[in-house]
Amino acid sequence: MWSLILRDIRLALRSGGGFVLTLAFFLIVIMIVPFGVGADLGLLSRIAPGILWIGALLSCLLSLDRIFQLDWEDGTLEALATSPIPLSGIATAKATAHWLTTGLPITLASLPLGYLLNLNHNSYFLLLTSLAIGTPALSFIGTFGAALTVGVKRGGLLLSLLILPLYIPTLMLGAQSMSVGTNNPIELLALIAAISFMCIALLPFACAIALRANLK
Amino acid sequence: MLLKIKNLDCRRGNKLIIANVSFNLKSGECLILKGPNGSGKTTLLRYIAGLSTNNLLNDNIAYSGHLDGVKSTLTVQENLKFWSGIYNTNNMTNVIKTLKLNDFQNRIAGELSAGQKRRLGLARMLITNAKIWLMDEPTVSLDKTTTTLISEIITQHCKEGGAAIISTHVNLNLPSSKVLDISEFKPEIDKEFDPFLEGIF
Amino acid sequence: MSLWEYANPAKFMALSARILPALAITSSCLLLIGLLWGFFFTPADYKQGSTVKIIFLHVPTALMAINAWLMMLAASLIWLIRRHHVSALAAKAAAPIGITMTLIAIATGAIWGKPMWGTYWAWDPRLTSFMILLVFYFGYLALWEAIEDKDTAADLTSILCIVGSVFALLSRYAVNFWSQGLHQGASLSLDKEQHVDNAFYFPLLVCIAGMVLLFVTLVLIRTRTEIRLRRLLTLRLRNS
């Protein structure tokens, strides 16, 4: 399984792989927020947690349809499906590679971007932690969506429609945990962690069902 | 005996494509699937490969479909190293030599010609160390030299105790090959069962 | 003879043809009686005036919006485990009905809310949950429409429904944490646990019963249509 993770990372880092693209998109999304809502630092500071999380969500979305689509198009997915690795293992490997090349970089990039939005000083640690714990859920949920839509041409929009609702719990808890008025961030972080663990443990099997249906 | 198929029905969706297929595959044998387009050769191969069912028939199988299974942004070596990792084998250097890919080892796969890409796809079959090869039209749109090379490799594989089931329109000159005409297994219309067609609506 | 016998499309069509007229009439009657009774023959609540009577439409549709999804969940599980075609088509048939129920629930909630609390919409936990449920329904139908092969579509939408159910439940609870942060205190809870007068209780029950039967009637009708469409498709493919 490690071979698959390493290969996907390598593919993402090659030109056309989408690694830099994702970070650039994150930057642009955050950047246009002040253009839209005005540069009042007080306002930005209040909405920063939500905006950072939404930006992270959307940036994750971007690279999702690549997960299986490229392998589907050149026959590698079929070849992998007939290999000793079970489909759930393939899904786990791909979701992990996605997180390493998308979720993790986004988490790190959020710190300087938070500064752009005048994020409250005390919230930086929570920003880092909530994203670090929450982005794995985003990757695994996204992989599930990608498995569902792998056979659909230009399925990016459908993919977004399917998984944005699934992102809602993580988003709500994540943004809330970083907000200034919250008394119990640790509790919320624990919940985010629970959701992520559940996604990591169970969604690969759902992915396997979806992939098998599409490969038939 | 590597593979025993008895009274197999293959469907695509709800439609019965072939019915009552039976054959045995011994080690060293090559089974050629013949039949017109759409008669079910691909369906049968995919079924045996485990792609259309939920259970794997035999885990000593390598499948090569219409597409090459080659990542075009990786080099030849990286492509093969990846498959070695998946199948946990270490015969990569031999395979590269056998398929005459030494000159292209570090070339990005996207820059290879169609024939070279097909050889790379075939290299994957060798790397898997699987006994049974399932190949769906392996030589389509390839030139004579490459086709001969592929025939030689399949022959060698069978000689070493492996077996192959190949669907092809081309005569590959493979020794010890049986032919299975898939069109013989076309189901009779009234034997077809479709839950949506029975009864009066 | 177990219930599973009706997984066969032909048998299902036969049975549903027999019970549909009775179901349709019963559900219409119940709903009509319940609504008329509730709207015209109950006293106005001393606190909330007459507008509270929208509850006779709001509560049943809200209940059905959720129950429709639960029915889809059960049907999806049956499809994945036992591969009964009628199940898969029933789930597909129920989805638009669920969407309609949700929309009516949200709309009637808005109509209730305006005179009561001065606003058509508020991001309180209950309303927000219904909005989220609506998008889950949309995703489900969108997936059905996007996949050509009907059996594959059935597989994919079933697993989506199952995974979606888990996340819909998670959302229901996450919303509580979320709305605490935004509304310090004042929450517009259109609480059904609010004290409901006895005078309202019985017409409400009748409405709920009527709505449930209406749901069943509509699902049966739509499933029959789906089965016919599927048969048409199969015949077309066969003859090609």
pLDDT in tens, A118-146: 888 888 999 999 999 999 999 999 999 99
What's the pLDDT at C183? 39
**Residue pointed to by tokens 């993770």:** A5
What's the pLDDT at B55? 64
> Quick one: CA torsion of C19, C24, C27, C30, rounded to 10 degrees?
-110
Query: Do residues C110 and A116 touch, judged by C-beta distance below 8 A?
Result: no
**What is the token pair recorded at A62?**
């971007």
* Residue-wise DSSP of chain A: -HHHHHHHHHHHHSTTSSHHHHHHHHHHHHHHHHHHH---HHHHHHHHHHHHHHHHHHHHHHTTTHHHHHHHHHTHHHHHHTSSS-HHHHHHHHHHHHIIIIIHHHHHHHHHHHHHTT--GGGHHHHHHHHHHHHHHHHHHHHHHHHHHTTSTTTHHHHHHHHHHHHHHHHHHHHHHHSTT-S-HHHHHHHHHHHHHHHHHHHHHHHHHHHHHHH-
CB A151 to CB C139 under 8 A?
A: no
pLDDT in tens, chain B (201 residues): 677 777 777 777 667 778 788 888 888 888 888 888 877 888 888 888 888 876 666 678 888 888 888 888 888 888 898 999 888 888 888 888 888 888 888 888 888 888 888 888 888 988 888 888 999 888 887 888 888 888 888 888 888 888 888 888 877 777 777 888 877 777 776 556 677 777 665
What's the pLDDT at C194? 52
The pLDDT tens digits of the residues spanning C183-211 come to 333 344 444 445 556 677 888 888 899 99
Given a cut of 50, is residue A105 above it in pLDDT?
yes
Spatial neighbors of B153 by CB under 8 A, at least 6 apart, are B98, B99, B122, B126
Instruction: Give me the helix-helix angle, C150-182 and A156-178, nearest 10°.
Output: 20
What's the pLDDT at C180? 64
What's the pLDDT at C144? 95
**Which amino acid would we find at residue C136?**
F
Rounded distance, CA A161 to CA C144, Å? 13
Q: Which of B69, B73, B82 is nearest residue A75 as measured by Cβ atoms?
A: B69
Highest-pLDDT range among A30-44, B131-145, C108-122 = A30-44
Count of pairs with CB atoms under 8 A, one residue in A, one in B: 71
Given a cut of 80, is residue A176 above it in pLDDT?
yes
Given a cut of 60, is residue C25 above it in pLDDT?
yes
What's the pLDDT at A99? 94
What's the pLDDT at C188? 43
The pLDDT tens digits of the residues spanning C51-89 come to 777 888 888 999 999 999 999 999 999 999 988 889 999
**What is the token pair recorded at C150?**
């009907």
CB A172 to CB C171 under 8 A?
A: yes
Which range is least confidently modeled, B147-156, C111-120, C153-162? C111-120
Task: Please state, for a pLDDT cut of 70, what percent of chain C lies above it.
Answer: 86
Given a cut of 90, is residue C222 above it in pLDDT?
yes
Rounded distance, CA A8 to CA A11, Å? 5
What's the pLDDT at C197? 64
Residues in A touching C76 (Cβ below 8 Å):
none
What's the pLDDT at A172? 92
What's the pLDDT at C184? 37
What's the pLDDT at C237? 77
Rounded distance, CA A124 to CA A118, Å? 11
CB A82 to CB B51 under 8 A?
A: yes
CB C151 to CB B14 under 8 A?
A: yes
Given a cut of 70, is residue C38 above it in pLDDT?
yes
- The whole-number average pLDDT for the span A30-35 is 92
What's the pLDDT at C48? 61
Vertex B158: Cα angle to B154 and B159 (nearest 5): 115
Judge whether C155 is closer than 8 Å to chain A, CB to CB. Answer: yes
- SS3 state of residue B18: strand
Query: Do residues B166 and B122 touch, judged by C-beta distance below 8 A?
Result: no
Closest residue of B to A72, CA-based? Answer: B69
Residues in B touching A216 (Cβ below 8 Å):
51-52
CB A162 to CB C142 under 8 A?
A: yes
CB A215 to CB B62 under 8 A?
A: no
More confident call, B172 vs C101: C101
- The whole-number average pLDDT for the span C157-178 is 91
Q: Residue C2 — pLDDT band, cuts 50, 70, 90?
A: low
Judge whether B196 is closer than 8 Å to chain C, CB to CB. Answer: yes
Name the average pLDDT for chain A: 90
What's the pLDDT at B139? 84
Q: Which of A4, A74, A78 is nearest residue B70 as measured by Cβ atoms?
A: A74
Rounded distance, CA A33 to CA A14, Å? 30
Query: Do residues B166 and B2 touch, judged by C-beta distance below 8 A?
Result: no
Closest residue of A to C171, CA-based? Answer: A169
Neighbours of chain C (3+ CB pairs under 8 A): A, B
Query: Which residues in chain B (2-31) have CB-CB distances under 8 A to chain C?
Result: 13-15
Query: Do residues A133 and A126 touch, judged by C-beta distance below 8 A?
Result: no
Residue C106's alpha-carbon distances to A27, A213, C25, C35, C167, in angstroms, are 37, 35, 27, 18, 20
Residues in C touching B201 (Cβ below 8 Å):
10, 13, 227-228, 231
**What is the token pair recorded at B9?**
């029905």
Beta strand extents in chain B (DSSP E only): 3-12, 15-25, 30-34, 61-64, 132-136, 163-167, 177-181
More confident call, C195 vs C233: C233
Spatial neighbors of A185 by CB under 8 A, at least 6 apart, are A126, A177, A178
More confident call, B106 vs C44: B106
| Sheet containing strand B61-64, strands side by side | B61-64, B132-136, B163-167, B30-34, B177-181
Residues in A touching C175 (Cβ below 8 Å):
172
- The whole-number average pLDDT for the span A160-167 is 94
Phi, psi for residue B10 in degrees, rounded to 5:
-115, 130
Name the average pLDDT for chain C: 84
What's the pLDDT at C219? 94
Query: Do residues B29 and B163 touch, judged by C-beta distance below 8 A?
Result: yes
Residues in B touching A2 (Cβ below 8 Å):
85
What are the extents of the domains in chain A? 2-215
Question: What is the complex's ipTM, to 2 decimals?
Answer: 0.92
Judge whether B55 is closer than 8 Å to chain A, CB to CB. Answer: no
Q: Which of C14, C228, C237 is nearest residue B15 as measured by Cβ atoms?
A: C237
CB B70 to CB A84 under 8 A?
A: no
Q: Residue A197 — pLDDT band, cuts 50, 70, 90?
A: very high
Considering the entire predicted model, what is its pTM?
A: 0.90
Count of pairs with CB atoms under 8 A, one residue in B, one in C: 38
Residues in C touching A182 (Cβ below 8 Å):
181
